[in-house]
Structure 1
Amino acid sequence: MKSNLLVLAGTATIVASACSFTPREQAEGKFEYLEVGLQQQVEPAPNKKLPTPSNRFKVPEANQTGPLGKIVPVLAPTLVWPLANGSRLEESEQGAHIYFDEIEGMSNVEQYVWQGALQALRIRNVGIVEQEDRKRIVTDWLEESFTHGEDDDNVTIRRRIALNFDTAEHGRTTTIRSEVVEQQVDAENNVEVTPTYLAFRDQNAATAALNMVVSEIAITQMAGVAAVDDDGTVAVDMGFDEDGYPSIVLGASFGFTWGLMQEVLPELGFEVDDYNRELGRYYTIYGVKKSFWFSRNVDGKLELPRGDYEIKVTGDQKQTTVTLFRDGNPLSAAQVMQIFAPFAAEIRSQSSL
């Protein structure tokens, strides 16, 4: 008899624990607020009068509906990270989104943000199944796995996420909005995942994809790149340096450009004989290969006479100029124009982000 009582007690415990299981994303409690209603009229106390009615404390009707009671997800959602310079949020707006405002030194915020998104997906080997230039990107399947339910069954969700881009008419602000556009769910043992919880995880996935893009843009900014071309490389143009001399202009910081020149100059045919970073100078020989015993002529990529060249690199965090001097004189605008194409091509080749 005693053993039978123990078996019954154990069975009752198991049944009670099974009935009391609550998924960690589900709210717990009695939810008395669901039964609360509005009192239509307040009755005054005897021999008292009510004040003149007003709508001062009236609770307005909600213009949208949402989950109530135990179906309310209680887990903290993933937040958008405004890590990049010029990025910001509008808390009053729903969904995963972020704004990028044009900052000093950024010539085209729309192009910069678009290339940042492509770069983020490319580095992480995320495929693209739909692309509309500077308007929309739809990723290939992204997979997420987690355990769910009382028995910790495995659930796998595959999603395609759309990144939608919108640039204001004035051209100084670009918005990215992220959303799940396709979804496939594979649940072990057919464990139930409520639509509310699926929507919660979809929102987190869309936010994570957006954060991936924002982080990549922030990394590009930290590297000192302020402007990019259509192919995702540093923007290069012709212009003038601080002294008014014809120069090659890069949309990047001095530190980025200085290091880049160490790769670019030898590929063009310059041999760096000495340098001074404090002065922003490379002292080079063009078209000549020097060794311990002798020197020999080599073919460079530029139409320049062989000999010594001083290369001046000056700039700030947003823009840098590269000026070439021969015999103490800067190259003319015509000479800079003549060497610009191969010089810029090598910069783009070495600066692919």
Structure 2
Amino acid sequence: MKYKVVGLGLVAFAIAGCAGKEEREIASGSFEYLEAAQHKSLDVPEDFDSPNYSQRYILPDVGENAPKDLKGKKLKVTPPSLILPLVAGTHVEEGSEDAKVLFDQVNDNEPLQKTVWDTVLTYLEKSSVGVEKFEKENNILVTDWVTEIREVPSSWYDFTDNLVTVKKKFKFTMTLAPHGRTAALRTELVDYVDEQGRAALDQVDLISKRTAESNFLNNVITEYDFGIRLANTQRIAKIRQGFNTDMGFDADGNPAFVVDAVYENTWPRLLLVLRKMGFDVKDLDQSTGLLFVQYNGIESSWWSGLFGSEDKLDIEKNEYRLQLGGVGEKTTVTFMDNESKPFDAKRITKIFAPFKDFMGNEDLDI
């Protein structure tokens, strides 16, 4: 008899644990409050004074646009999904009710508008979702059908998979700030087909609609994060590999080194090269490309014997200045004395060979 009691308990536990998703989204307990009616106010005889009523617990009137049928089992108790601005350069507006995220400019190599739209298109392509309409000039994109497969709750003893398919379409709208360095991307559910194949957008409750919009936008944010990390990884790999350098001239016609790399990649590589060449950086300003350095003597290296027995550059131990300038896909590096007078061709040629080797050395310890 004891075993029977335990067996019934396990069955009851199994049944309780098989509650469907819909059941978990509604309030549990009694819904008798739906039958409640407004109580009649207290009747006070004319010869008596009316008591003072507290206004503390009076419920506000329901707004004209508020849904009137969200009550009882139709009222979901699950909170709406949140937008997750977990990527550097993303944030949300406090109190915003839209599924919207704001992107700040983090890559100056291309316009922010292009970066965001490329991210959206990349995510859609990876998810095998087509594009129904893309008005780039109006910053509007509407997806094709996004298919979602759901599991329908069944009896606890039914071990077969009951799957249904619903379809959704989303609209992306981008709003650019006047300065062009911040873009707000908003996602909206614009079409919905239920498991019966019927258009049922007007049947989607507010919480479900917001959840669908937020989840879809969060996937785009995740793709944006992946793109940034991938770009950084590729950039670091390029910097590690080194860059070719030739002799040439800067924008002012002064003799200079011409590095075969964009400014953003040349700058960190140069800081490492200068340290290896015996320079200490005393001050720098990446926005203007100016560095103030002190030459203290070059470090011992495997190639020092190739350029003489003494482990030093053919310049005096003194203070110098370097000026970097971006020229398309290349960067010029102009060496100057401590009074900003550029090196002449003869003087800069003396340090070209070690500079070229360090800039192009793939084994540079960084």
With normalisation by structure 1, the TM-score equals 0.51
Q: In the alignment, is residue 167 of structure 1 matched against residue 168 of structure 2?
A: no
Query: C-alpha root-mean-square deviation of aligned residues, in Å?
Result: 5.1
Which residues in structure 2 correspond to 1:1-353 (within 5 Å)? 23-24=22-23, 25-39=25-39, 41-42=41-42, 49-51=50-52, 58-63=58-63, 64-65=66-67, 67-90=70-93, 92-101=95-104, 108-133=111-136, 135-151=139-155, 153-169=162-178, 171-187=180-196, 201-223=208-230, 257-261=235-239, 265=243, 279-281=271-273, 323-325=331-333
Distance in 1 (alpha carbons) for counterparts of 2:147 and 2:201: 19
Bigger CA radius of gyration: 2
The 1:106–1:49 alpha-carbon spacing in structure 2 relative to 1, beyond 3 Å, is farther
Q: Which amino acid aligns with 2:151?
A: T
The structure richer in strand per residue is 1
- Name structure 2 gaps, 5 residues minimum: 1-14, 156-160, 247-258, 261-265, 277-321, 337-341, 346-366
Of structures 1 and 2, the one scoring higher in RCO (CA 8 A, sep 6+) is 1
- Matched residue, 1:249: none
Is the 2:323–2:335 contact (alpha carbons within 8 Å) kept by the matching residues of 1? no
Q: How much does 1:181 deviate?
A: 2.4
The 1:278–1:170 alpha-carbon spacing in structure 2 relative to 1, beyond 3 Å, is closer
The 1:258–1:281 alpha-carbon spacing in structure 2 relative to 1, beyond 3 Å, is farther
Corresponding residue SS for 2:150: strand
Q: How much does 1:157 deviate?
A: 1.1
Is the 2:242–2:269 contact (alpha carbons within 8 Å) kept by the matching residues of 1? no
The 1:327–1:55 alpha-carbon spacing in structure 2 relative to 1, beyond 3 Å, is closer
Distance in 2 (alpha carbons) for counterparts of 1:160 and 1:176: 16
Q: How much does 1:218 deviate?
A: 2.5
Corresponding residue SS for 1:121: helix
Is the 2:119–2:223 contact (alpha carbons within 8 Å) kept by the matching residues of 1? yes
Is the 1:142–1:158 contact (alpha carbons within 8 Å) kept by the matching residues of 2? yes
Distance in 1 (alpha carbons) for counterparts of 2:107 and 2:344: 29
Distance in 2 (alpha carbons) for counterparts of 1:110 and 1:44: 69
Q: How much does 1:212 deviate?
A: 1.5
**Identity over aligned residues, as a percent?**
23
The 1:41–1:181 alpha-carbon spacing in structure 2 relative to 1, beyond 3 Å, is same
Q: Which amino acid aligns with 1:323?
A: T
Is the 1:146–1:156 contact (alpha carbons within 8 Å) kept by the matching residues of 2? yes
Q: How much does 1:145 deviate?
A: 0.8
Q: Which amino acid aligns with 1:205?
A: A
Aligned length: 245
What's the CA shift string for 1:16-43, capped at 9, x where partnerless?
Answer: x9xxx87424444322332344456456
Is the 1:89–1:97 contact (alpha carbons within 8 Å) kept by the matching residues of 2? yes
Q: How much does 1:184 deviate?
A: 3.1
What's the CA shift string for 1:184-228, capped at 9, x where partnerless?
Answer: 3345xx9xx997567755543332221121112223344566xxx
Distance in 2 (alpha carbons) for counterparts of 1:138 and 1:263: 41
The 1:281–1:264 alpha-carbon spacing in structure 2 relative to 1, beyond 3 Å, is closer
With normalisation by structure 2, the TM-score equals 0.49
Q: Which amino acid aligns with 1:174?
A: A
